[in-house]
Amino acid sequence: MEVRAIDGKGNILDRDSVTCFINVEWTIIMYLDGHNNLASCIQQDIDYIKSFSNTSGVNIVILAGPYQYLATSYLYYCHNGKLDTLFSGAVNFGYAENLRILVSYALSNFPAKKYLMVIEDHGSGWKSKSQGNIDRDICFDELYNNNSLTMPELREGLSSGLLGKKIDLLYLDACLMGNIEVAYELKDVAKYLIFSETTAYGPTRWDLILSFLLSNATCDPISLGIKIIDIYYNNNSNNNKITMSLVDLSNVSSIVSELYYFATYLKNCLPNSAQAIMNLRNVTPSFAPGNNYEYMDLYCFSALVKNNTSYSDLQYSAENLMNKIQSAVIYNRYIDYTLLGGLSIWFPYVVNDWNLGLTKYADLLFTKSSGGLAWADFLYNEFYYYYNTSPNKLSLN
């Protein structure tokens, strides 16, 4: 196959040839942002992958920024222990157009029966995380003024590159991405999604993942997703608190639909139960971003509500919500937590965190849905009655 480098006017700047496998079982597309303190993890990923002397039957396309202080990045095609450099130059990983170009290029030039998309960097779910002036969504690039991909930008970058197709398995190898808000944002660009509710630890063991895939090339996305999670779980050498979930994105809408009733019945309990609801929230496993741990496990919270209310409608809805979560979360493993369902949701307990998060929350598809809007309305009223103050109101964009 001939690869051409073309400028913005369509002129051919350079050309080269590369051998690729056509109509193979899997193409792996990797978007690896190392323009920060994860550069060594990105380089380790590449070293693991190029250690295989035979990768026949699997295409591996990598856009990597392997240097913390240098913007030079590389588009690689990896096969049989060799990295063919298809492009080198400065890349801003926080710019969605670069993600679109990678996805479109990989699908056009490295067709396969199934696609694994990997996005690796720091993350904080849908929300910004204050660290100086850094906004952390996913793929923030310190070499480009800390630019990052918001969840709408991530969705748009993937969607525009896919042109109506869906990724078979999307792996967000970054911290704190395991929100229902994130899953809902990405439900139309992928079939299955792997992510973590809490901090994700690297480097990712691509030597083990690729070894499995090369030996089981015909495996389905669920089997591959389960294997990736098991490898992560079994190689937690530092005994960190970890979580990892595999979600069937076709079932995410039903969770959000049931959330409408759950949030409505919770709101009906106000103002009398504002203290009790906040108490349940504060004993639910919760996760960063920030020191106030604004995300909480939705399944665990629903279980606590169900077991601590006599309001029959709320009990029934909580149980339904738990069942919907179990249907969507195909596989979930964790260490040092007593009960996790595999999906978190935003429920800050500090009013200022609510006020600061509203603008970005309003940008999400989740918040524009009836279930997401009902959840935001419940949160507003919970803060209003619990703190006896007037929090900022949500204004949809």
* Average pLDDT of the chain to the nearest whole number: 91
Residue 122 — pLDDT band, cuts 50, 70, 90? confident
| Closest alpha carbon to 275 in 385, 392, 381 | 385
Confidence band of 137 (pLDDT split at 50, 70, 90): confident
For 79-102, what is the mean pLDDT?
94
CA–CA dist 290, 131 (Å, integer)? 9
Q: How confident is the model at residue 79 (pLDDT cuts 50, 70, 90)?
A: confident
- In whole angstroms, give the CA distance from residue 30 to residue 88: 15
For range 237-259, the mean pLDDT: 95
Structure tokens at 63: 């856009």
Q: Do 63 and 91 meet the contact criterion of CB atoms below 8 Å apart?
A: yes
Average pLDDT of the residues in 159-173: 96
- The full DSSP string for 173-242 is ESTT--BHHHHHHTTTTEEEEEE-SS---S---HHHHHHHHHHSTT--HHHHHHHHHHHHHHT-TT---E
Q: Is the pLDDT of residue 370 over 70?
A: yes
Tell whether domain 2-240 is in CATH 3.40.50.11970.
yes
C-alpha–C-alpha distance, residues 378 and 359, integer Å: 17
Q: What is the mean pLDDT of residues 364-390?
A: 97
**Which pTM does this prediction carry?**
0.92
What is the per-residue pLDDT for 1?
52
Does 5 have pLDDT greater than 50? no
pLDDT above 90 (res 396): no
Residue 132 predicted with pLDDT over 60: no
